[in-house]
Structure 1
């Protein structure tokens, strides 16, 4: 197929995309925003029809010979927002090109040659994952369009915010549900015997997925429009509740489970740094609890120094649950108790705030290992700027989110002069010389086990091996110190 079918399909698919480009480019020139709030003019209807036909021919050339559509797409006045899930590939653009609905997507996408012009034609809402102000503006724009009584085109949103392998639905982001207007859930299925569609964090890359898919003689895709979901008054006031209820409806239609992890958890679990989170880490649970308290890690990062200075002044003094609540400036709740339990040792009902700040630093900046270690050193160091072996053990246990960790050999390797204490500079110099120190000293045995598992067992949901709870009932049990 690589020598016969693939080049033919690739040529025709590329040709159809290039054919669509001038229509989208000309139609996008000089268009004022207010024109979109008016009924479509005759020439715009013609362009829409031509682009839909060209795009459908492109998918046909790619092996999607027929597209099975179930249910009825609601009118914009009935549901201003269409929520699509699961999101697993760039082939999920098929329903977008069929409807020419607006979408919410990464701002970087508009710079893609040819495809970027086609995207601009449908007037998407662009969002930047790294710009917090962009996120706020995105939510406001979605709300404005959704509450326009059908004047704007419908918005298609993939509320998961990232790609998975469709074996479960991860946490829905609340952006599509903040306006509090009815939404129409839309589920996607690719019932192919060989899955060449899935494009996730791990596995085949974008070009390999394209090659494998075009080599398949026929690719099945199914789009099902579920009944419009009308939110209750309680759901309108609570977007997270609204999102969870819609996710439940979609999961039932798909026959899959749900998991309470998010796009940010993927970043945390798979962050590249000198300390890679082991499979038994509790930091994923910690990150989820932080968000459940309404504390956003991306906004807390700038307060880390303030938190660390406050914790350092405590000089290791442990605090109770009420004192912890006062420290975070949040009320005592079940969620706070669960977070507190992650740091409790010896069942004495008190915790060390330095551990909380260290864990928070990892969640806020998962790829910046050395910055977290440096912050922790400042909290634990003595007046002469040194720490002892027990302090290093506390720092690294918390940074990895584990209950037990033997750092004796690592400490001896860093403390070459056998002073019984080290500075951050000593630690930094050692990590510069031996960047793989973690795998050798901290979890070497565990890494060997994980590598064996990776070669024999597939990840349960395409995100990381520890994202799917073994038993949903475990959530009802009290959390223990640094247990996943």
Structure 2
């Protein structure tokens, strides 16, 4: 198993690239750029700060008014009412655009069109500012972190647009958010389909009316021609054009009556004597309004999960793709010459914001891709759906140098955690999505990643990004012995004598895979004994000293110091042992390689083999006894044949039992036993052929026999079988 998993690790690490998209590529500040920053800091920066303050306060007041009297639970239950949307809609739409203008984005270059057909809109997240433009265009609800609620001013804005808040560390919160996303987008999608159907019906009605008007015009034209011919026959002067003007005036009032004859309207009066009705202009079809009752706004998500990279599209989260509804992708790029506004890990956030405000103009390009309608296969496979949408966005921006990478937001988490620990963050890049594709057993989450990174940083005492064998032994309190060398060689894939973070985390994943419940139970039994439910740390110290003679007392104390807080001091239960094992799979691997564990495995294997053989023999005996009874019931005419067959069946069963029970015997006896076991099988085959030939005759004879006689014969035959079996045994 370890060989197979090692091959997977080698294949996974072979395909991982060293490309790092999480880099802020701001150029070195030149003299001209410094002059521009000084001028901008003295002019546009104060003006923008003066404008941002009143604007944010005004937006806060209007958004608070739109949700006044509504609790967080009511905001989740249903969309806002009409008057609340009437306050919120212009506030968000125009307030976000003015805010973006004050941040230096006076104009935004767009390509394509925003569509109202898709219930979900997704985008990449290269900076802090693109969501303001998307709020201006769509006025959507969004999905955000629960911590946003606590941010002054911004938390109120998020509540007003009915944000779906997610606590990333809580599986229950993520599950509730997924259910709420599905409910909102499915409701909106059904409403959009109903509206599209109504629009199609309106188009059909309009087309029908147009055809009717066209047919009426054709009828009018035919009537005019007929009237002209009649007049030309009555007065030949008409052909010379003497009455042309008067005739044209009269022809303007020619209409067709229901019976097909022309009728005239004179002096604005119709044929019924009433006033001529003016044609009413057709009303424009009503567009989808955001003030409709019961309609959720479109849902907007950053598909990458958070601030990622302006240099590429990393792996998408599946929250937007699980419902399987149409999606409009939006791709955002931020061209620059000197100042890169992307908040990559390692960038100072305050200086980034100040320098952005000092720029006279910042650039933003937004590309609206066509609405992506998923196929049936993509609806059933959200991963495939997300991958195809991401590739479509990357293809659209291929000319801009933007590419799709297999990094994920977990890489961003690792980078930030390494920076907090003051560790070289470029050494911990994993490209986790590609790692998951080639190494399927690895389940990554924030806690697992940060815990492994903390252990790796503790081992890497010289902060070089790699762990040597001496550092490995020192931090884990392991001896410089053969067992430790084998474990280190297992983790060191390339065999260079040092372990990097990629090798370490894939090795830990392999060891986690081996931590089966049976393995943990067997290791726990080494300390607690068979059937024990706890053990003391003092007893564990003695057990480790007996298992590994090369361990010193200091090393044993160091290993036991890694045990966390215990409910009962100096006593570890199985649940606490299981948690410790998952945090320290290296020690469990060493314990599984001891001679005691190998002997326990052999004993367990032999016991299982014996139990399996006994179970098979018992099952065979049951099948044979059932077959014997069925043969007795069906074959009433061949008493001699049945007796021989039953005698052989009983003899065979006895021989099998005796052969299995006797542990010793000569080879000749075993050969005779095998021949006796094979002989009845041939007779059984011959008998089955004979039974098939006599099947028709037996059915006719059985219908004429009485049930009582049949039962009596069966009882006699069973008794004779018992006697034969007894004789064979004796």
Assess if the C-alpha contact under 8 Å between 1:5 and 1:215 holds in 2.
yes
The alignment of Structure 1 onto Structure 2 pairs a total of residues equal to: 344
If the length of structure 1 is used for normalisation, what is the TM-score? Answer: 0.62
Q: Does 1:164 align with 2:308?
A: yes
Structure 1 counterpart SS, 2:121: strand
Structure 1 position 287, deviation (Å):
8.1
Structure 1 position 395, deviation (Å):
5.6
Task: Indicate the residue corresponding to 1:97 in structure 2.
Answer: 135
Task: Indicate the residue corresponding to 1:293 in structure 2.
Answer: 440
Structure 2 counterpart SS, 1:69: strand
Q: Distance in 1 between matches of 2:83 and 2:77?
A: 13
Assess if the C-alpha contact under 8 Å between 1:248 and 1:258 holds in 2.
yes
Structure 1 position 19, deviation (Å):
1.1
Q: Structure 1 pair 18/372, CA: closer, same or farther in 2 (3 Å)?
A: same
Matching residue within 347, 366, 371 for 1:203: 347
Structure 2 counterpart SS, 1:178: coil
If the length of structure 2 is used for normalisation, what is the TM-score? Answer: 0.42
Matching residue within 137, 146, 154 for 1:115: 154
Structure 1 position 166, deviation (Å):
1.6
Q: How does 1:53-452 map to 2 (within 5 A)?
A: 53-75=94-116, 78-85=117-124, 87-98=125-136, 99-148=138-187, 149-150=190-191, 151-205=295-349, 207-255=350-398, 256-268=402-414, 271-272=417-418, 288-289=435-436, 293=440, 296-298=443-445, 363=449, 365-369=451-455, 387-389=479-481, 391-392=483-484, 403-405=495-497, 423=555, 425-426=557-558
Assess if the C-alpha contact under 8 Å between 2:167 and 2:173 holds in 1.
yes
Gaps of 5+ in 1: 302-360, 374-379, 408-418, 430-484
Q: Distance in 2 between matches of 1:428 and 1:286?
A: 35
Q: Structure 1 pair 275/3, CA: closer, same or farther in 2 (3 Å)?
A: closer
Structure 1 counterpart SS, 2:330: strand
Q: Structure 1 pair 200/285, CA: closer, same or farther in 2 (3 Å)?
A: closer
Q: Which of these two proteins has the greater Rg computed from alpha carbons?
A: 2
Q: Structure 1 pair 287/169, CA: closer, same or farther in 2 (3 Å)?
A: closer
Structure 2 counterpart SS, 1:24: helix
Assess if the C-alpha contact under 8 Å between 1:139 and 1:175 holds in 2.
yes
Assess if the C-alpha contact under 8 Å between 1:268 and 1:366 holds in 2.
no
Assess if the C-alpha contact under 8 Å between 1:127 and 1:138 holds in 2.
yes
Q: CA RMSD in A?
A: 3.7
Which structure shows the higher helix fraction?
2
Q: Distance in 1 between matches of 2:429 and 2:103?
A: 43
Q: Distance in 1 between matches of 2:417 and 2:482?
A: 26
Q: Distance in 2 between matches of 1:43 and 1:280?
A: 51
Gaps of 5+ in 2: 1-39, 192-294, 460-471, 500-549, 562-730
Structure 1 counterpart SS, 2:123: strand
Q: Structure 1 pair 274/291, CA: closer, same or farther in 2 (3 Å)?
A: farther
Structure 1 position 48, deviation (Å):
1.3
The CA deviation string for residues 186-206 of structure 1, in whole angstroms up to 9 with x for no partner, is 11122232334211212232x
Q: Distance in 2 between matches of 1:278 and 1:2?
A: 32
Task: Indicate the residue corresponding to 2:211 in structure 1.
Answer: none
